[in-house]
């Protein structure tokens, strides 16, 4: 079970896509939502799901805007696009607005009602502290204790040092185990090119995970 959980975390750690979902409903003239406050990375997709908003014919102008975070905002914050990270056109009926903030910092996502230049009213849907996305190598256990080469390779990979390895397991991009071996050198020549995931199990109980590319 412990080995399975490690392999599961190995695969999902590579393939998962970070997302934040916020749901906004307009019902009988009231706006219903649960505000979100989170720390996220720059790869996180923020999805605003909205429904029930009146048409523009009813002169109810609603729109979303992403701004640097502060306690309050003035009319000029909304009228000058230089103050915002992203703003939308007027919304109506239902849909999904998706955006990824690629700058580090503190931000708010607001639902705004009114003209973009005439005393708009706003609701804070989400407050986010955005930090840099970790690279694929960050967070690995004992990252500097092994070397796996060549990577990419035509098929044969070698791990050094290898005196403490008890088993190596290889997963394909779909999470299927394709190879188990106690050898520090393994051969994927007969497998198609692409990305594979390596779980390295040491005799002292530690585990190391790596991504490899077979040409």
Q: Which of 5-14, 56-65, 116-125, 197-206 has the lowest mean pLDDT?
A: 5-14
In this structure, how many other beta carbons lie within 10 angstroms of the beta carbon of residue 174? 8
Task: Provide the token pair at 162.
Answer: 């290898």
Mean pLDDT of the chain: 81
Q: What is the pLDDT of residues 103-126, one digit of tens each?
A: 888 999 999 998 766 678 899 999
Cα distances (angstroms) measured from residue 31 to each of 9, 49, 77: 39, 13, 22
Please state, in angstroms and rounded to a whole number, the distance separating the CA atoms of residues 23 and 46: 11
Cα distances (angstroms) measured from residue 46 to each of 17, 21, 84, 89: 11, 6, 16, 17
Average pLDDT value for residue range 181-207: 86
CA angle (132 as vertex; 65, 11 as ends), nearest 5 = 110
Question: Among all chains, which residue has been given the structure tokens 């009228």?
Answer: 79
Q: List the domains of the chain with CATH numbers.
A: 19-131 (2.60.40.420), 147-214 (2.60.40.1930)
pLDDT band at 8 (very low <50, low <70, confident <90, very high): low
Q: Which of 34-48, 89-103, 193-207 has the lowest mean pLDDT?
A: 193-207
Q: Of the ranges 4-13, 78-87, 88-97, 195-204, which is most confident?
A: 88-97
Report the percentage of the chain scoring pLDDT > 90. Answer: 30
Are the C-beta atoms of 81 and 89 separated by less than 8 Å?
Answer: no
pLDDT band at 138 (very low <50, low <70, confident <90, very high): very low
Q: What is the pLDDT of residues 39-90, one digit of tens each?
A: 887 778 899 999 999 887 666 789 999 999 998 888 888 877 677 888 888 8
């Amino acid at each position: 079970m412990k080995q399975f959980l490690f392999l599961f975390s190995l695969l999902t750690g590579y393939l998962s896509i970070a997302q934040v979902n916020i749901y906004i409903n307009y019902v009988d003239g009231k706006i219903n939502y649960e505000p979100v406050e989170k720390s996220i990375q720059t790869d996180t997709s923020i999805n605003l799901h909205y429904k029930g908003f009146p048409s523009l014919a009813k002169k109810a102008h609603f729109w979303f805007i992403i701004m640097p975070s502060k306690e309050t905002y003035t009319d000029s914050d909304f009228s000058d696009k230089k103050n915002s990270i992203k703003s939308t056109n007027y919304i109506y009926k239902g849909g999904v607005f998706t955006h990824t903030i690629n700058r580090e910092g503190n931000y708010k996502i607001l639902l705004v009602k009114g003209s973009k230049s005439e005393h708009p009213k706003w609701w804070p849907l989400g407050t986010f502290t955005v930090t840099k996305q970790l690279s694929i190598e960050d967070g690995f256990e004992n990252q500097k204790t092994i070397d796996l080469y060549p990577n990419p390779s035509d098929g044969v990979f070698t791990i050094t040092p290898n005196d403490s390895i008890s088993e190596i397991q290889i997963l394909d991009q779909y999470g299927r185990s394709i190879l188990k071996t106690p050898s520090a050198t393994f051969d994927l020549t007969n497998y198609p090119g692409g990305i594979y995931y390596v779980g390295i199990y040491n005799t002292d109980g530690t585990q190391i995970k790596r991504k490899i590319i077979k040409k």
